[in-house]
A and B are shown apart, each in its own frame.
Chain A
Amino acid sequence: MLGFGLIKGLSVTLKNLFSPVFTIQYPDRRVGLLALSKHLDKPISKILTETPKIFLLGLVRMVKIPVKIDQFPRFRGNEFVWYDDRCTACASCAKYCPLGIIEIVTHPGGENMQAGENYAIDKFDIDTGRCMFCGLCVEACPYDALHMGTDFERGNYERVNLVLDKETLISQNKNPSSWFRPQFEENEYNPWEKDLNNPKEAGRHEKPSYQNIKNKWVSKRKLDG
């Protein structure tokens, strides 16, 4: 019947009106009192007595609570994670970097002269302002010391602040991405849930044996025909 299509279209949009929104509020969202008491884990009466100003804002749904967005574990942010205990200052990353933005200065003589630890690191700077996050440095690292990071909230007003120096890399919380680090995925490590400050927990990327590779690829190819 003519005219029925118009009403059908109206009913579709009306259904959309009462369905939940897809928008994810970021970096914070406005909530009312119920969601606020759930967030703070406090009853509403306690919010009223302790912080009446926030209670009033909550009445009109204007309290901001921060929102953290979960990404996939392989997500690459605009930072790097570096374990100084593992780094031997071999400078493989600096050599592989196509932009030459990793600057390493060393002097001979580590504190304990074990194998592979012959150099002490004076300077380890990564200029993320010029980085294109290709990940070649992470692929090149033979000791799994450098990882892609997952933090993406590193916007800055000055280019100088974008340079990650040695102190920042050591002191910051480490949430390495599992990009090119299959051991993280084997251990089911999720950077969005916990930090990984201790390198001993991080595990090493072991080179698969010839038999493993054969099992994984050759036999699969046979099955595929």
Chain B
Amino acid sequence: MFEFIYDILQFFLHILITDFKYENFLLTLLSGIIIAFAVINAVLGGVLALIWGERRLLGRFQQRSGPNRWGPQGILTSTADAVKVMFKEDIIPEEADKYIFNLAPLLLVVPVFIIFSVIPFGIGLYAVNINVSVLFILAVTSISGLSIICAAWASANRIAIFSALRSVAMLISYEIPVGLSLVGILLITESMSVMDIVNFHNMPFILIQPVAAVVFFLGSLAEINRTPFDLTEAESELAAGYQNDYSGMKWGLFYLGEFAAAIAAASVFSTLFLGGPNGPILPGIFWLTIKVVAVLFLIIWIRATWPRFRIDQVLNLAWKGLFELTLVNIVVTSIAVIIWPDGESNRMIYIALANWIFVFPFLFIIFRLLKTKNYDDNDIKKVTYPVGSDKPKFEKAGN
């Protein structure tokens, strides 16, 4: 895409002027700006559509109709909200650290847009091709934790700090299984570039690496703070969490960043595990859109269904469940890759079979081990507060 736009701009520049000293610099800058403009606007439009779609779908999941007044089927609701947010008063708390307070929303939004630079929107339709783009995605996504802790610290609010600590604990825990779940793919493709992974084979990696797909999906849900891992904004406990003191467009940027992160997570998942823009008949960009919308539907569906985890359950799941699963996945995949090296016939089918037979059962074994203990009535202790004593007294009930 870059070279194409560069060539067009060069053609038009040569009509105006033939000999220009800074031609290369100017054309690179201009084509970069054009690509960034297109990608960012596509994502912003996607965010508006996602907010509307999520509210509408959640409504239908709960047998009500959702926003349906403003525009056909209520599609302009989120646009009107965006305009409203821009005109709202921008309040900075008196005790806030103003520079960090203003920086935090940008720190959340900008990395999310950077992720889209390495995602192939179609066959050969991408902004940049880095040879370590998988690592790049993992690195860039972890900046959101910094933004959240900046926002919480700068707003000098204890509830925001609770939220940020939860978020960072969750982010640190889930970085590891998310990163390790991709090792299987990297072993098979022998490349860290998203383009190589997309062009590798027609078979989507969710069939070859089922457990890695599950782990990556759950981990990305945790990283974008969505249900069932939305402890950061647990409304019943923390109100709006780290966004408590934000208002106006800064709050709007947080909101935008969250939904753009959902789109980014869905597009990374569909690029790595669902084959990205590969598909029959239709052009690549349609296939990517269909896959992203499907993953987003799954995310909304999960939000409409599953309750929220407690913080200890979230960390248990990451460290005692998903982490081990990824290790098993790496071991089995590396053995399979050694047995069937590149060039063998039906290589992918054998590796997929090995994964399904030797890794998939571990999903159930490890989740079985994680199951919460069922307490008897006799185990529940009766708590009484004796008169004149500060300390509670525990008694065994049921006797």
Give chain A's interface residues, CB within 8 Å of chain B. 1-3, 6, 9-10, 12-14, 16-17, 19-23, 25, 30, 60-62
B304 at the A interface (CB under 8 A) = yes
Total CB contacts across the A-B interface at under 8 A: 48
Say if the beta carbon of B98 comes within 8 Å of chain A.
no
Contact residues in A for B131 (Cβ distance below 8 Å): none
Q: Which residue of A lies closest to B57 (CB)?
A: A17
Stretch at the interface among B65-73, B135-143, B194-202, B331-339: B65-73
With A2-B368, A6-B306 already in contact, the answer to whether A62 and B65 are too (CB < 8 A) is no
User: Bound complex: CA of A6 vs CA of B301, how far in Å?
Assistant: 12
A-B contact pairs, 8 of them (CB 8 A): A3-B363, A9-B305, A12-B305, A13-B61, A16-B63, A23-B64, A61-B73, A62-B72
B residues with a Cβ closer than 8 A to A are: 57, 59-65, 68-69, 71-73, 301-302, 304-306, 363-364, 367-368, 371
Dominant secondary structure of chain A at its interface with chain B: loop
B302/A10 in contact, CB under 8 A: yes
Q: Are B72 and A61 in contact (CB under 8 A)?
A: yes
User: Looking at A9, A13, A23, which has the most chain B CB atoms within 10 Å of its CB?
Assistant: A13
In the bound complex, do residue B301 and residue A9 qualify as a contact, i.e. CB atoms below 8 Å apart? Answer: no
Which of B68, B302, B305 has a CB less than 8 Å from the CB of A30? B68
- Majority secondary structure, B binding face: helix
Seed contacts A6-B306, A21-B65, A22-B64; 11 additional CB < 8 Å A-B pairs: A2-B367, A2-B368, A3-B367, A6-B305, A9-B306, A16-B60, A21-B63, A21-B64, A22-B63, A23-B64, A61-B72
- CB-nearest residue of chain A to B370: A2
Q: Is the CB of B364 within 8 A of A1?
A: yes
CB within 8 Å for A2 and B302 given contacts A22-B63, A60-B72: no
Compute how far the CA of A201 lies from the CA of B323 in the bound complex, rounded to whole angstroms.
80
A21 contacts across to B, CB distance below 8 A: 59-60, 63-65
- Rounded to whole angstroms, the CA-CA distance of A16 and B304 in the bound complex is 10
Residues of B within 8 A of A22 (CB): 63-64
Residue among B305, B363, B367, B368 making CB contact with A13, cutoff 8 Å? B305
Considering residues A1, A6, A21, which has the most beta carbons from chain B within 10 angstroms of its beta carbon? A21
Residue in contact with A2 in the complex, picked from B68, B305, B371, CB distance below 8 Å: B371
Query: Which 7 interchain pairs have the tightest Cβ spacing?
Result: A60-B72, A13-B305, A23-B65, A21-B65, A9-B305, A23-B64, A13-B304
**Complex: A146 Cα to B155 Cα, angstroms:** 62
Report the Cα distance A13→B60, complex, angstroms: 9
For A13, what are the chain B residues with a Cβ–Cβ distance below 8 Å? 61, 301, 304-305
